[in-house]
Structure 1
């Protein structure tokens, strides 16, 4: 299947931004230059610019050449560590602002995720996570009550919940992540400063103890112009059967079969 021309242009420019070849503040080639480079009319070029602008990668204005805004930061989910630790490790300033911290009975979906009953209690947290003071992710987290109650003795705007809970002896040992995309709802729109319907990158996590007990579930929604997710794979085991090269034989190698009459 042929890739649409506007998508080819978008991908080419996006890759240059993400690789650092085009830095924040750099001007993109003019519309005429892009038309000549890709053998395209103005329509596909403008479609590509519109898509890049919607991602927050470029800034466009009437009568001016588009310029690069910033490249999203890449977060690896190979290792299990906090948002704060990741942002600090790559040389940026993490931040958080708590919108809600509440002890309440879960709805049936959340109860099922936490493996508790709807009559039990859960602690639910809604926080904005920021990078260098700008909103990057909206965090919806829920804990089983015995873990979540610890948060009422902690300033949830002060730092990493992950580190605090581990210091308090909570065995946050394993995390299972599910990654997909979702359209921003009214809550996302308000706190991430994006229009409703804007595509967001979503990571749903289930955190368990070494014994498999569910301790926390989360739904983290990232602005796509603030963060990318990276998964690195390595081949860690050998094939079940060793590879054996098959020796090819020629006609002269084969024994005579003798003809029968």
Structure 2
């Protein structure tokens, strides 16, 4: 609830024997509470003196931790009024829709940028066999919203169908829009999976994340208007800036006698909903496990 006071919240003891400095431990503890909405926007943080007592640390440790949170834009500090959790600009992605991230962000008024990191022809493997070609075009991009990195996208396309694609044509552009304009291909259906995963060093650097941060991975295959597989993709989303939204509708009842003939796609909304409900808990468990392993 906005405007609430967190001064009575219990503190977690910091580990003075850890190789991680105390101010980073305190920052991490407060940061986790902000990101998991235990401390929602508008919440007043305890005073510096209260944090000193609660965590048994010096004033300089508290000030370093709060300063780091302020630099991230997670809290707002005001002279004489303490610190409060800052409003958050979250970008929402409707994962049950075929429109890509660029189109969805653009429709909200966000300034969307796309940097092509690499574009090359590779041999197909087991993960891209669904495309049905011996070679695939491998495309890696960095997507930003209002200048902030929010996703790294790796896409594989069949060759030779899309061999004429160039990095220049995809810079600051939507891939799906280019496929429609240049090749007459419309994405009309697909399969999607969501999971929380650890990010490697290069991925975390591109998304400006700490080494202990998990990321949100959306994987899938997209099909065109003729039912042909067009792309295989993996998109790693910044967990602080992207929220997955899913619209759920009740499916028409299927007669028991027709159950064996029902399309597997009929169960897709329920399956995605189950994944979405568990995603937050999975993400927090993964972050905790990574931090304890010292990643």
**Offset of residue 113 of structure 1:** 4.4
Which residue does 1:137 correspond to in 2? Answer: 151
Which one has the largest radius of gyration? 1
| Cα distance in 1, alignment partners of residues 118 and 239 from structure 2 | 24
Give 1:112's aligned residue.
Answer: 129
Q: What number of residue pairs does the alignment pair up?
A: 212
| Structure 2 residue aligned with 1:148 | 162
SS in 2 for 1:148: coil
- 1:123 is displaced (CA, Å) by 0.2
Q: Name the structure, 1 or 2, with higher relative contact order (CA <8 Å, separation 6+).
A: 1
| Aligned partner (choices 129, 138, 143) of residue 124 of structure 1 | 138
TM value normalised by structure 2 = 0.60
* Cα shift readout 1:124-174 (whole Å, capped 9, x = no counterpart): 011000001110000011011134313128521131110110122124221
Superposed CA RMSD in Å reads: 3.7
Task: Identify the residue that residue 196 of structure 1 maps to in structure 2.
Answer: 211
User: Could you say what secondary structure the match of 2:203 adopts?
Assistant: helix
1:70 matches 2:92: no
Alignment-derived partner of residue 187 in structure 1: 202
Distance 1:179 1:13 in 2: 18
Note if 1:174 corresponds to 2:192: no
| Structure 2, unaligned runs of 5 or more | 1-9, 13-28, 56-61, 257-295
Q: CA deviation at 1:211?
A: 4.5
State how far apart, in whole Å, the 1-side matches of 2:248 and 2:189 are.
Answer: 18
Name 2:15's counterpart in structure 1: none
User: Residue 221 of structure 1 aligns with which residue?
Assistant: 236
What is the match of residue 255 of structure 1? Answer: none
- Stretches of structure 1 that go unaligned for 5 or more consecutive residues are 36-40, 242-261
Q: 1:16 to 1:196 in 2, by over 3 A?
A: closer
Give the structure-1-normalised TM-score.
0.67
Separation in structure 2 between the aligned mates of residue 180 and residue 113 of structure 1, nearest angstrom = 21
Instruction: Identify the structure with the greater helix proportion.
Output: 2
Shift in Å, 1:182 = 0.8
Cα drift, residue 30 of structure 1: 2.0
Change (3 A) 1:136 1:14: same
Which portions of structure 1, spanning 4 or more consecutive aligned residues, are displaced by more than 6 angstroms?
none
User: What is the DSSP-based 3-state SS (H/G/I as helix, E as strand, rest coil) of the residue aligned with 1:181?
Assistant: strand
